[in-house]
Structure 1
Amino acid sequence: MAFASTWMWANPAVAAEAATSAAPEVKQLADSDVNPADLPEADQSIKAKPLDQWTGLWNRQTMLGDIGGLRSWLWRSGVTVGLTETSEVFGNLSGGMERSHAYNGLTTVTVGLDTQRAFGWQGGNFNASVLHIHGQNLSSSSLGTIQTASGIEADPGARLWELWYQQKFLDDKLDVKIGQQSIDQEFMVSQYAGTFINTMFGWPAVPSFDMPSGGPAYPLSGIGVRVRARPTDSLTVLGGIFDGNPAGDSTNADPQLANAHGTTFSTHKGKLFIGELQYAVNQPAAGEIETGGKRGLPGNYKLGFWYNNLRFADQRYDDGGLSLADPASSGNAAQHHGNYSVYAVADQMIWRPSEDSSRTLNVFTRIMGAPGDRNVISFSANAGVTLTAPFEGRDSDTAGLGMGYARVGSHAREFDADQGLPMRSGETYLEATYQYQVAPWWQLQADVQYTLNPGAGILNPKDTTQKINNIWLVGLRTNITF
C-alpha cells in the first residue's frame, strides 16, 4: 500500500514508519505456467501439436510464444522465464487534493528452476524475480487517500523482489520455502479480490500501516522461512517466520529508499510470526479430474494472525503518560512490546447455471483488526462480488463490484483532538471494474473508484481551510504476458 504523504503529515508520531507496499497479481513460475501448445511435439513429455512461431498469435498463452524453440529448450532444462508488463492511466475527475492524472507501470521478470528436470533432484524449485517500477504515484501526489488507487503504485526504480528455494516432501503434502519472500503472495489472499485494482484488495490496510515498513509485501520482501502442510485435501496449514522490518536498520523515512534495490537482507530487526488455517469446500481432490458431477459450489475460508516482537510507539501518549501534543511532553512516545492482528478471509461461489458453465457469481470478504493504542489503522475490511463470463462468448471476462473500509485507531484519533485537528474516523471506497480478455496473453481493464472521506477526514494540505473532497477516479489498465 502506498502511504499518502499528506495523511502521514497528520501523523508525526508514525511518519518514520511510513511505507509503500502493494500486492499486484504476480504469479510465481511453475510447470503449470508453461503452455504445452508453445512446446514442440518433439518433447514427448508434453502431448501437444507443434505451433509455428508466427501463427496462432491470438490463441497462445504468451505473446512471443515459443520464441523459435527457446522456451521449450529452456523448459526441458528445467528453466522457465516469465516477463509481464502492467501499464495503467488514472485520473481523478473530482475531489482529492487536486485534479490530476498519472501513468503507472510495472515490469516483472521471473526466472524459475525445476531441480528435477535440471539435475534429477525431485521436488525442488528455485525462484527469482526482479521488478522495474515506473511512472507516478497519483495517490500520494494528488489524492491523499489511505487506500491507494492501484496495487502497483510504488517508488520508481529497479529492485530484486523475491529470491527463494522451495522443497516438497511427502507427496506434496508438505513443502518448505526459504529465502527472500513477499508474503502477500500467499498470506491473507482472497481469490476473488484479485480482480480489483485498488491496493487494499491485495495487501490490506491493517498490515500495510501497522507492520514496520508496511511488512514484507510488494514492492518489499523479507528473509524468512514458510512452511505449508496439507493434512487433508480440504485443510491447509500455512506458517512462517520473517525478519521484522524489511527496510533493515536504515533511518530513512521511506522504506523503499532505505532498501532501494531489494538487497538489504536484514535478519536482526525483530521477528514477524504469521500463521493461517485454510479450509476448502467442494474442491476436487488432489489428482482428481473434474467430470462435471454434482459437486457443490466451491469455497475457501481462512483464519489467520500475525505477531511482530519489535517495540511499537503509542499513537497518543509519551513515556510519562502525557499526550505527545502537550507542551510539557518529553516527545518520546510510550513503547509497547509487540504488535499483532487477527484476520479472516472468505471466498465463495454462490451461483453457476450448470456444472460445466464458465459463468459464475462469486462473493468474498476479508476483515482484520489490531490494537488501537499502537496502530494507525485498527480495523480494515474488504468485500465484493464478481461475475465471470458476464456475456455470451466472453468466457474469460470478469466484472466486479467491491468496497473497502479502513478505521483509524483510537489513540491516533485522540491525538488529532489533542492537536486541535479534525479527528479522523474512517475512509470508505467503492470500485467497479471490468476485465476484458483480448487474448490469453493480453488483458484490458476499465476501472472506476469512488472514495468517501479521503484520508479519513484530514485537512487538504494544499488548501488547509477544508478537508479533502470525495474522489471520483477513472482508469484503464493493460496486462501483457510476453
Structure 2
Amino acid sequence: MPRVPLSLSRARRRGRSPVFIAPLLGMLLAAAPVWAQSIPTTGPAAASGTAPVAGDAGPDFFTGLFSPSRNNLLLDMDGLRTSLGNVGISFGLQETSEVLGNVTGGVHTGADYDGMTEMSVGLDTQKAFGWVGGIFNVSALQIHGRNLSTDNLDVLQQASGIEADRSTRLWEMWYQQSFFEGATDIKIGQQSIDQEFMVSQYSSTVFMNMMMGWPMLPSADMYAGGPAYPLASLGVRLRAQPTHAITVLAGVFDDNPAGGSFYNDSQVRGAEAWGGAFNLNTGALWIAELQYAVNQPALGDMVSPDQSPGLPGTYKIGFWYDSGSFPDQEYDTLGVPLASPASNGDPLMRRGNESLYALADQMVWRSSPESPRSVGVFARAMVAPPDRNQISASYDGGLVVKDPLPGRDNDNFGLGFGVAKVSSALANYDNEVAYYTNRYDPAQGIETFLEATYQYQIAPWWLVQPDFQYFFNPSGGIPNPLEPTRRIANEAVFGLRTVITF
C-alpha cells in the first residue's frame, strides 16, 4: 500500500464555508493609532472574558474604546449581558484572524489568511435554578481561510494552532458538577481534552505554533489528531484536589472524534462535518495526569499565582492509553515490508497505543511580588512506541517575559522551540522505499522549529501579535514534490495575528 509522507498523510484538509465579516474588521483595526500603545490593559488572558461593562449607549461606546475596564468590544449590549448574567447565562464571541507567509523554503513561497470564530454559551445552575456547583457549556466554531502549513510548508508542527478544515461546527457540549466546596468535580459530555490535559500555561497562551498548544505526538499518533481543537469526543473527566498542592485529572473518551479509519480522518467527513458524529465504534482513550503546584496562593486568598510570596510553578506527569488498533509503520499482515513489491499493502494492525509525558511551568524571576514583570520557563516531553506511531517523541520549551517594556504591563514576549522525531519504523519504511524503487527518497528524521513572538495588548478586548518562526528540516527531510530530487528547504515564516473579543 503506497503511503504519502507523514506531513501529507496527517495534514489538516479543508472544506468550504463562508468567511465572516469579523476577520476583515480585525485586520482593519490592526491599523489603530500609535497613541493606543500607552493605554494600560488587563492582559491577554482577560481577552476571552465576557464581564458586563455598563454605559454602552451613546458616545461612551466610542470614547471608552480603549478603557482598561472594557473587556468586550460590544460592552454590555444595552444591558443584555447583565440581564442574562442575573439568571446565570453568559455568552462569548471571539474572532482570531491571522496572515502567515513563508519568505524562504517550503514547497513554494507565499502567504495565506486563516481565521477562527468561537461562540460559546454557559449556564450557572445555581443562579439559574438554585442547583449548587453546576455548569453547562456549549461552544461552536466557524473556521475559515486557507492553511499555510499544508499549502506551502509541508511541516509536521503546524505554524498556527488554529489551522484546520474550513467548517462551521459544534465544538464542546458538557455539564460539570463540583462537590466538597470545589475540591472535586466531574465533567460529562462532548469535550476537547487539549483544554485541560498536557497543557503548559506559558506556551499555550502565548505562542502561535500548533505544538505549543496540542503537542505534535498526539496530533500524529491519535485518530484524527485526537479529541483536540477543532474536534471533541464524548467522555467523562474527573478532577480532584486532595491537597492544596496536588491535583489529579483522569478521564475516558471516545478515541476517534472523526469516526474514520486511521488514514481517512478528515475533519469534514460525513456527519462529523458539523461536529455531531459522536463516534463510539473504534476504541477508548484513557488519560490521567498528576499535577504538583509550588508557591501558589492559599485557598481563599484574593491574589493571583503571579503575586504569591515565592516563585510559582506547576509540574505535571501523565499517561494515555488507546484501546483501538493502529497500523504498523513498516510491515504488512504477512510480515513483509510494506515498501516491498511482494507486500499485500495492508499494514499489520497492532492493538493498543500509549504515551508518557511530562511538563513544567516555572517562574524564574520577577522584579517584586507586586509587579507584573516576570520571566517564566516551560518544558514538555513525550514518548510513544515507534512500531505503530509516526512520531515516537516530541519536545518543546522556551521562556516568556511578561511586561517586557516600560508601560506595557500586559504584553508578553516569547522565545520557544519544538522538536518532532519521526519514528524509527517509519524511517525504515522510507529507506526500504528507496531500496526497492531505486529513487531519491530520504528517510524522515527530526524536524525542529524556533519561534519568537510578541503579544501586544492594545485593549483588554483586542490583541495584536507579530510572529516569526523558522523550520529546520521540514517534515524530517522529505523531497519537495515540485523538485523530487531535493529535500524541502528550511523555511522562514512571518505572521500577524489579531484577536478580538466581542
Structures share a fold, TM > 0.5? Answer: yes
Matched, 1:73 2:87: no
Instruction: Give 2:478's aligned amino acid.
Output: I
User: What is the distance in 2 between the residues matched to 1:242 and 1:314?
Assistant: 23
Which residue of the other structure, out of 329, 345, 353, is the alignment partner of 2:367? 353
Instruction: Give 2:242's aligned amino acid.
Output: P
User: What is the distance in 2 between the residues matched to 1:75 and 1:276?
Assistant: 33
Aligned-residue offset at 1:257: 1.7
Is the 1:18–1:209 contact (alpha carbons within 8 Å) kept by the matching residues of 2?
Answer: no
User: What is the distance in 2 between the residues matched to 1:172 and 1:293?
Assistant: 22
Which residue of the other structure, out of 178, 183, 208, is the alignment partner of 1:173? 183
1:78-124 per-position Cα deviation (integer Å, ceiling 9, x unaligned): 11010000000011010000001000111000100101111111110
TM-score between both structures, scaled by the size of structure 2:
0.87
User: What is the distance in 2 between the residues matched to 1:401 and 1:119?
Assistant: 47
2:329 aligns with 315
2:38 aligns with none
Aligned-residue offset at 1:249: 4.5
Matched, 1:85 2:108: no
Matched, 1:295 2:306: no
Is the 1:39–1:71 contact (alpha carbons within 8 Å) kept by the matching residues of 2?
Answer: no
3-state SS, counterpart of residue 389 of structure 2: coil
Which residue of the other structure, out of 425, 431, 441, is the alignment partner of 1:411? 425
Aligned-residue offset at 1:10: 2.1
Aligned-residue offset at 1:355: 0.9
> After the TM superposition, which segments of 4 or more aligned residues of structure 1 sit over 3 Å from their partners?
17-21, 51-55, 249-252, 290-294
Which residue of the other structure, out of 282, 285, 290, is the alignment partner of 1:272? 285
Which residue of the other structure, out of 196, 208, 211, is the alignment partner of 2:219? 208
User: What is the distance in 1 between the residues matched to 2:150 and 2:280?
Assistant: 30
User: What is the distance in 1 between the residues matched to 2:307 and 2:210?
Assistant: 37
1:249-299 per-position Cα deviation (integer Å, ceiling 9, x unaligned): 568824302221101111232100001000100001221133998721000
Instruction: Give 1:321's aligned amino acid.
Output: G
Relative distance call for 1:55 and 1:79 in structure 2 (3 A) is farther
Aligned-residue offset at 1:408: 0.3
User: What is the distance in 2 between the residues matched to 1:408 and 1:294?
Assistant: 41
1:47 aligns with none
Relative distance call for 1:252 and 1:307 in structure 2 (3 A) is closer
User: What is the distance in 2 between the residues matched to 1:230 and 1:55?
Assistant: 45
Q: Alignment RMSD, CA only?
A: 2.3
Mapping for residues 47-66 of structure 1, pairs under 5 Å: 53=61, 55-59=63-67, 60-66=70-76
3-state SS, counterpart of residue 296 of structure 1: coil
Aligned-residue offset at 1:336: 1.3
Bigger drift between 323-332 and 85-94 goes to: 323-332
1:300-343 per-position Cα deviation (integer Å, ceiling 9, x unaligned): 00000110001111100112221111112222212211000000
3-state SS, counterpart of residue 78 of structure 2: helix
Relative distance call for 1:471 and 1:252 in structure 2 (3 A) is closer
Relative distance call for 1:401 and 1:343 in structure 2 (3 A) is same
2:33 aligns with none
3-state SS, counterpart of residue 428 of structure 2: helix
3-state SS, counterpart of residue 255 of structure 1: coil
Is the 2:100–2:493 contact (alpha carbons within 8 Å) kept by the matching residues of 1?
Answer: yes
How many residue pairs end up in the alignment?
455
Instruction: Give 1:35's aligned amino acid.
Output: A
Which residue of the other structure, out of 209, 220, 237, is the alignment partner of 1:198? 209
Mapping for residues 27-66 of structure 1, pairs under 5 Å: 33-35=49-51, 38=53, 53=61, 55-59=63-67, 60-66=70-76
Aligned-residue offset at 1:34: 4.4
User: What is the distance in 2 between the residues matched to 1:67 and 1:275?
Assistant: 41
1:10 aligns with 5
Percentage of matched positions with identical amino acids: 52
User: What is the distance in 1 between the residues matched to 2:335 and 2:381?
Assistant: 32
1:422 aligns with 442
Matched, 1:102 2:130: no
1:178-226 per-position Cα deviation (integer Å, ceiling 9, x unaligned): 0000000000000100200000000111100001111000111100001
Matched, 1:477 2:502: no
Instruction: Give 1:422's aligned amino acid.
Output: P
Instruction: Give 1:263's aligned amino acid.
Output: G
Structure 1 gaps, min length 5: 1-7, 22-28, 41-50
User: What is the distance in 1 between the residues matched to 2:219 and 2:186?
Assistant: 25
2:34 aligns with none
Instruction: Give 1:266's aligned amino acid.
Output: N
Is the 1:124–1:167 contact (alpha carbons within 8 Å) kept by the matching residues of 2?
Answer: yes
User: What is the distance in 1 between the residues matched to 2:456 and 2:117?
Assistant: 20
Relative distance call for 1:83 and 1:64 in structure 2 (3 A) is same
User: What is the distance in 1 between the residues matched to 2:221 and 2:51?
Assistant: 40
User: What is the distance in 2 between the residues matched to 1:474 and 1:317?
Assistant: 40
1:33-76 per-position Cα deviation (integer Å, ceiling 9, x unaligned): 4436x158xxxxxxxxxx96555221201111111111100100
Is the 1:379–1:408 contact (alpha carbons within 8 Å) kept by the matching residues of 2?
Answer: yes
Mapping for residues 441-452 of structure 1, pairs under 5 Å: 441-452=461-472
Mapping for residues 128-147 of structure 1, pairs under 5 Å: 128-147=138-157
User: What is the distance in 2 between the residues matched to 1:461 and 1:318?
Assistant: 26
Is the 1:20–1:213 contact (alpha carbons within 8 Å) kept by the matching residues of 2?
Answer: no
Relative distance call for 1:313 and 1:71 in structure 2 (3 A) is same
Instruction: Give 1:255's aligned amino acid.
Output: S
TM-score between both structures, scaled by the size of structure 1:
0.90
Is the 1:18–1:254 contact (alpha carbons within 8 Å) kept by the matching residues of 2?
Answer: no
User: What is the distance in 1 between the residues matched to 2:416 and 2:247?
Assistant: 27
Is the 1:248–1:266 contact (alpha carbons within 8 Å) kept by the matching residues of 2?
Answer: yes
3-state SS, counterpart of residue 267 of structure 2: helix
Is the 1:405–1:429 contact (alpha carbons within 8 Å) kept by the matching residues of 2?
Answer: yes
User: What is the distance in 1 between the residues matched to 2:307 and 2:161?
Assistant: 38
Is the 1:18–1:213 contact (alpha carbons within 8 Å) kept by the matching residues of 2?
Answer: no
Mapping for residues 238-387 of structure 1, pairs under 5 Å: 238-249=249-260, 253-258=264-269, 259-290=272-303, 295-387=309-401
Relative distance call for 1:199 and 1:427 in structure 2 (3 A) is same
Is the 1:19–1:209 contact (alpha carbons within 8 Å) kept by the matching residues of 2?
Answer: no
Is the 2:296–2:308 contact (alpha carbons within 8 Å) kept by the matching residues of 1?
Answer: no
